[in-house]
């Protein structure tokens, strides 16, 4: 597997050159890496590794289960080209997928989705 490190394209700062909508950003490939995915969770076992996000401003801590770890290696200059990333609203299928993943560690969502 491979992965690319993306950086914002300079054209994003020049409105005359930018033909993208307000919620799209063009990125250039800065680095190219090989990656190895290492599982942190066995198939039938509960999650044991979590990402904690602390929002000190609102006094809220959120968590997300982490199923695997990624090791990057062999960093080298990226290939020429760019990628455009656009924001979009979550649809019902996206929300269901997120809730089902959270249901693995949330009893109320587990009951809602029959997990």
Per-residue pLDDT of the chain (115 residues; tens, 9 = 90+): 788 888 888 766 554 444 556 678 888 888 888 888 888 888 888 888 999 999 999 999 988 888 898 888 877 777 776 777 888 889 999 998 888 877 777 778 778 877 7
Contacts 24+ apart (CB under 8 A), 14-23: 20/84, 20/86, 21/86, 23/86, 23/87, 23/88
Beta strands in the chain (DSSP E): 2-8, 24-39, 50-55, 60-65, 68-77, 82-86
- The answer to pTM > 0.75 is no
The domain ranges of the chain are 2-113
Enter the tokens of residue 45.
């076992």
DSSP class of residue 34 equals E
Report pLDDT digits (tens) over 17-45.
445 566 788 888 888 888 888 888 888 88
Look at residue 44 in the predicted model and tell me its pLDDT.
85
Q: For residue 98, what are the contacts with CB-CB under 8 A and spacing of at least 6? A: 90
Look at residue 73 in the predicted model and tell me its pLDDT.
85
């Amino acid at each position: 597997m491979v992965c690319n490190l993306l950086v914002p394209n300079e054209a994003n700062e020049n409105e005359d050159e930018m033909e993208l909508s307000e919620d799209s950003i063009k990125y250039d490939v800065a680095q190219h890496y090989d990656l190895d995915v290492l599982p942190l969770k066995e198939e039938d076992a509960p999650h044991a590794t979590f990402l904690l996000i602390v929002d000190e401003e609102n006094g809220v801590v959120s968590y997300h289960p982490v199923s695997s770890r990624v090791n990057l290696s062999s960093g080298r200059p990226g290939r020429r080209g760019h990628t455009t990333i656009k924001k979009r609203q979550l649809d019902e299928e996206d929300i269901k997928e997120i809730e089902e993943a959270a249901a693995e560690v949330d009893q109320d969502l587990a009951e809602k989705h029959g997990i």
